[in-house]
Chains A and B, each alone.
Chain A
């Protein structure tokens, strides 16, 4: 029905009718679609208007040139054309709801259940959201065995990266006789790019305390420490305040909630060593010794802090405990995969549009995390790889983007899920340089106690430094692989056992980049400066001179009306010219 009232005719509705007739004949639809001219529809301001039956779709401001598109989309494909539809201003939803936005839609908050809703410095706000009810239940209605069984049934695995079954760890310690036991929280979070634990400690410190109370009851510990890295001053401050407020309210200290159970928790600050995230090194550090790991067995559950039975759990693991006790093991295991139950918090960083902290059910595909939640790669670049688990992890290439994220599936790729750090890399990242970056970190952080890690990592780093500066030799790749495997097999602790992972995974998935560095002396990602030479493409250069103005060293020669030229002697490979060029003319 096309309106042929005066208003619409003045606006050209008869021309629309003609265009429609022509198009229908062109598409051989003239037998199926009938055009009817009607009187004034009333909505003259938005004419020419058209109503399509039987769907009763109202189109406004239709122009003759829009008709072919409209016929194609609506009459043939059956899809009403959005842009001509009428939207009443009062109903216009310009602010989307949470579930409309991919970043929020795919998340389920459990460890982060109080996110953005409470003031961390007010214990009443935590209590108002069911805080300390789980601890109350554990202390009054459950025996240690029942707590352990519930935790085992839930399937919660350590969120610090090793993924050991939490309930089992508690059980092993509960079985050991001893009147002094320790419950410890690992807040050292040393992985570059990881900030999950920091966020929980700053925003919801009581969730950690409550988890520790429940664990203490399960293993019968009355003393606890939270080891927090000193580089997290806000976390230290909020945890300290939380402990004081809990104590004032009888939720920590002697006779908690009148149940007769005692637990005292203290904070111990780290001093800047990545290796102190390893449990035995952490305990040595609390004991006042240099943070160095020791051989296991004996395991800390039997002989830990000051030789006493101790359980160490990660911050995020503890944050998951209260809801399990309140809602039950079946509730917890209703999300997740067969061997990885529950949710996991990931810290997204790198070349993504949406950098931040996300919590998703285990088993969510990498693709969803990177492209839906993460919003895709910044500046419309291509996704190359994602480093998971920090320097202990490994990289996962774009070809494996459909991998569901959980302990087993990520292990199968050669990487590890780790504590949850995800550094996303685009095509402008050089993978050998990335491996070198992580080795620089782990080599520096090595405590030096065992030969494989101390000398092995140094050697790996030296080889990588040679490769990325153009002095790679034939046989280097094989040497890196053999050495990496030896270091993994013979290192004393997790640092050395995992530090070669970046090397192994980058060679596995990006061997051609290594070969280009070694055999052709080029860096395909244009990152390793000794191997890169920038040249202006004479055909593409638009002679605008933007690069000339951006160059800080005077290496770029240009005069008005001329193509630009880069003097290789003066060029420092800073890439200022590439950033300034709008025509992609510099190779």
Chain B
């Protein structure tokens, strides 16, 4: 990638929001599997594999899958966050492969959050 200038930094930021942000980027839903060491130790890799398998089976082109580091509530790992375009993100905790598959079917494809596996909706306070 080329050496950036400051103007480039701002452009990357705008471009990112324009293309990667859900609706604009053509994605209907984003799945984030939290994979800090705590998550991985608790089994996040297997959760991620389950997600990728379900994604392939459903052949869905409008689902974005990504990872992040530690999300803070280490005792409830593995965790994942599902964000439907236009709705606040929903965080799921204490996941197993089966729970993740159900969440994929009901929430990711069906649009309805699985209340009994969810902890919270919304964003954390950052300022």
Contact = CB atoms under 8 A, between A and B. Distances in A.
A352 B20 CA distance: 38
Interface stretch (B1-9, B50-58, B97-105): B1-9
A41 interface: no
A385 interface: no
Given A96-B120, A128-B20, A250-B2, A115 B71 contact: yes
Given A103-B73, A127-B16, A128-B13, A203 B120 contact: no
A133 B6 CA distance: 8
Interface in B75-112: 75-76, 81, 88, 90
B73 A136 contact: no
B4 A109 contact: no
Given A95-B118, A353-B75, A116 B3 contact: no
B115 A95 contact: yes
Nearest to B32: A116
Nearest to B13: A128
B123 interface: yes
Name which of A120, A202, A234 has the most chain B CB atoms within 10 A of its CB.
A202
B9 to A, nearest CB: 6
Interface stretch (A354-362, A386-394, A415-423): A354-362
B66 to A, nearest CB: 5
Given A116-B68, A117-B68, A98 B113 contact: no
A125 interface: yes
Name which of A95, A99, A128, A257 has the most chain B CB atoms within 10 A of its CB.
A95
B54 to A, nearest CB: 20
A234 B37 contact: yes
Contact of A98 (B20, B34, B121): B121
B13 A130 contact: yes
A116 B12 contact: no
A356 B12 contact: no
Name which of B4, B5, B122 has the most chain A CB atoms within 10 A of its CB.
B4
Nearest to B123: A98
B69 A203 contact: yes
B63 interface: no
Interface in B1-56: 1-6, 9-10, 12-13, 16-17, 20, 32, 34, 36-38, 40
Nearest to B116: A94
A341 interface: no
A249 B69 contact: no
Contacts of B20: 124-125, 128
A479 B123 CA distance: 53
Interface string A90-124: 00001111111101100111101101111110001
Contact of B9 (A132, A199, A232, A234): A132
A116 B71 contact: yes
Given A116-B71, A357-B74, A127 B6 contact: no
Contacts of A355: 74-75
B4 A98 contact: no
Given A118-B68, A120-B68, A354-B73, A136 B124 contact: no
Contact of B6 (A94, A113, A234, A257): A257
Contacts of B10: 133
A101 B69 contact: no
A124 B16 contact: yes
Given A100-B120, A127-B16, A202 B126 contact: no
11 contacts: A95-B113, A96-B121, A97-B88, A98-B123, A115-B70, A116-B71, A125-B20, A127-B13, A202-B69, A238-B69, A249-B3
| Chain A to chain B: the 9 pairs with minimum beta-carbon distance, closest first | A203-B69, A250-B3, A128-B16, A355-B75, A116-B71, A98-B122, A356-B74, A109-B126, A199-B70
